[in-house]
Amino acid sequence: MPVGTRAAVKGVTPRQLQETGAEVVLANTFHLMLRPGAGLVERLGGLHRYMNWPRPILTDSGGFQVFSLAALRTLDDGGVEFRSPIDGQLVRLSPETAVAVQNQLGADIIMALDECPALPASDAQLRAAVERTVRWAARCRAAHTRSDQALYGIVQGGLDLSLRTECLARLVEIGFDGYALGGLSVGEPPPEMWALLADFVGAMPADRPRYLMGVGTPRDLVQAVASGVDQFDCVLPTRNGRKGFAFTSAGALRLRNAAFGEDPGPLDPRCDCEACRGFSRAYLRGLIMGRETLGATLVSIHNLRFFQDLMRAMRTALAAGEFEAWRARFRSGPWTSASEV
Tell me the catalytic residues: 60, 233
Q: Which is nearest to 300 in space by CA: 249, 232, 235, 212?
A: 235
Q: What is the DSSP string of 144-184?
A: ---TTSEEEEEE--TT-HHHHHHHHHHHHHH--SEEEE-S-
Q: What share of the chain is helix, strand, coil (3-state, %, to 5)?
A: 50, 15, 35
Dihedral sign, Cα of residue 198, residue 202, residue 206, residue 211: negative
Q: Which residues lie below 8 Å from residue 221, measured CB to CB, with a gap of 6+?
A: 215, 232, 307, 310, 311, 314
Q: Tell me how far CA of residue 100 lies from CA of 24, 33, 95, 143, 148, in angstroms.
A: 21, 11, 9, 8, 14
Q: What is the DSSP string of 228-291?
A: T--EEBBSHHHHHHHTTEEEETTEEEETTSGGGTT--S-S-TT--SHHHHH--HHHHHHHHHTT
3-state secondary structure of 309: helix
3-state secondary structure of 79: strand
Amino acid 24 reads V
Q: Which residues lie below 8 Å from residue 125, measured CB to CB, with a gap of 6+?
A: 117
